[in-house]
Amino acid sequence: MNTKGNNNPIGVYDSGLGGLSVWRELHAKLPNESLTYLADGANCPYGGRPKEEIRRFADEAVGALIADGAKMVVVACNTATAAAIDFLREKYANIPIVGMEPAVKPAAMATRTGVVGVLATAGSLGGDLFLRTSARYADRARFIAAVGEGFVEIVEQSREATPEAVEAVRRVVEPLLAEGADQIVLGCTHYPFLREVIEQVIGEREVAVIDPAPAVARRVEQLLDQFNLRAAENNKAQYTFQTFASDDYLNRLKNKAFQIISR
Ligand code: DGL
C-alpha cells in the first residue's frame, strides 16, 4: 500500500449549496481525498451580477481555500468559472484549478432531434465560455439557452420537493421540450438538485438530462495524477465546510452534504 502522498484537502467552492452536486461526485469517486467546501453564501446568487464583482468574490474564496492548504481547487460554479477562471489560473498559477464547463459536447453528440436545451444562469449564458463551446458544436445541434429563473433560490432554501419547484421548472423546461429538445444540459451546479423535478416535467418523453459533475470528478482525478497530488491510500478523508455567511447557513450546508451522502 502506498502510505506516502499529499493528504492536504481539495478545495471546492461555489456561490452557495449547489457545488455540493460536484462535491458528491468527488466524495464518491475519491474516497481517500479530504475535501474542504467553501460556500460563499453571503453573496449568493451570483447569476445576475456583473463579472467584475463575481471575480472579486471568486478571488477571495479561492485565496482563502489556498491559504488553508488546499492542494487543488475546484470552482464548482459555472457562473464563477465563466467570470473568473482565467484570472484565477493566472493569479494562483502554482495550484491546479478546475472549472465547470457546460456539457454541450456530450449533448451535441447524443442528440437525435438536433435540439439541445441548456439551462444556466444569466451570467454563464452571457459569458464567452458558453458562446465559444456552443459555437464549436453549432453544426451538430441547435442550442436553446434558458435561465433557470428561481432555481438557485429554491435549492438554497431546500424547497426542491414543493409545488413551487415543479411550477418553476415547468415554466422553464416546457418551452424547451416544445422546441424538440431531447437533451437538457444542467449548466449550473445548483440545478442537479432539481433533477427529479425536471424528470417529472419531462415525463414519458425520451429526453436525457446531463449533469457535468461526473466529468469534472474524472478531470480532478487526472490532475491529481498529473501533478502527483494524490493522498496516501490509507489516508482517512476529512470533510470540512466553511462559508462567508452565518452559522445558520453553515448548518444548512452541512445538513445538505450529510443528506447527500446518506442517500
Ligand atoms: N451554482 C452556480 C453555478 O453553477 C451559481 C448559482 C448562482 O449563484 O447564481 O452557476
- In short, whether 36's Cβ falls inside 6 Å of ligand 1 is no
- In short, whether 21's Cβ falls inside 6 Å of ligand 1 is no
Q: Between the CA of residue 192 and those of 106, 160, 211, what are the distances in Å?
A: 17, 10, 7
Q: What is the mean pLDDT of residues 135-149?
A: 95
Distance 238 CA to ligand 1 centre (A): 25
- Decide the pairing of beta strands 72-75 and 35-39: unpaired
Which ligand 1 atom sits closest to the C-alpha of 15? Answer: 8
Which amino acid is residue 155, in one-letter code?
V
- Per domain, the residue ranges of the chain are 10-100+213-262, 104-210
The answer for residues whose C-beta is within 8 angstroms of residue 252's C-beta and 6 or more apart is 17, 158
Instruction: State the alpha helices, DSSP H only, in the chain.
Output: 20-29, 51-67, 78-91, 104-110, 122-126, 128-136, 151-156, 163-178, 195-202, 213-226, 247-261
Which ligand 1 atom sits closest to the C-alpha of 18? Answer: 1
Which of 12, 13, 15 to mutate to test ligand 1, by most ligand atoms within 8 A of the CB atom? Answer: 15
Which ligand 1 atom sits closest to the C-alpha of 47? Answer: 9
Fold held by 104-210: Rossmann fold (3.40.50)
Residues 57-110: tens digit of each pLDDT: 999 999 999 999 999 999 999 999 999 999 999 999 999 999 998 899 999 999
Reported as a pLDDT band with limits 50, 70 and 90, residue 1 is low
CA distance 255 to 127: 32
- C-beta separation of 76 from 19 below 8 A: yes
Query: What burial class does residue 254 get, using C-beta atoms within 10 Å of its C-beta: 0-12 exposed, 13-18 middle, 19+ buried?
Result: middle
Q: Reply yes or no on whether the pLDDT at 121 is more than 70.
A: yes
Fold held by 10-100+213-262: Rossmann fold (3.40.50)
- In short, whether 81's Cβ falls inside 6 Å of ligand 1 is no
Q: What is the mean pLDDT of residues 37-61?
A: 97
Q: Reply yes or no on whether the pLDDT at 263 is more than 80.
A: no
Which of 79, 129, 256 to mutate to test ligand 1, by most ligand atoms within 8 A of the CB atom? Answer: 79
- C-beta separation of 100 from 76 below 8 A: yes
Q: How many CB atoms lie within 10 A of CB 225?
A: 9
Residues 213-246: tens digit of each pLDDT: 999 999 999 999 999 999 999 999 999 999 999 9
Residues 187-198: tens digit of each pLDDT: 999 999 999 999
Distance 200 CA to ligand 1 centre (A): 23
Distance 40 CA to ligand 1 centre (A): 11
| Residue linked to cell 481517500 | 32
Reported as a pLDDT band with limits 50, 70 and 90, residue 128 is confident
Same fold flag, 10-100+213-262 and 104-210: yes
Q: What is the pLDDT of residue 126?
A: 86
Q: What is the pLDDT of residue 64?
A: 98
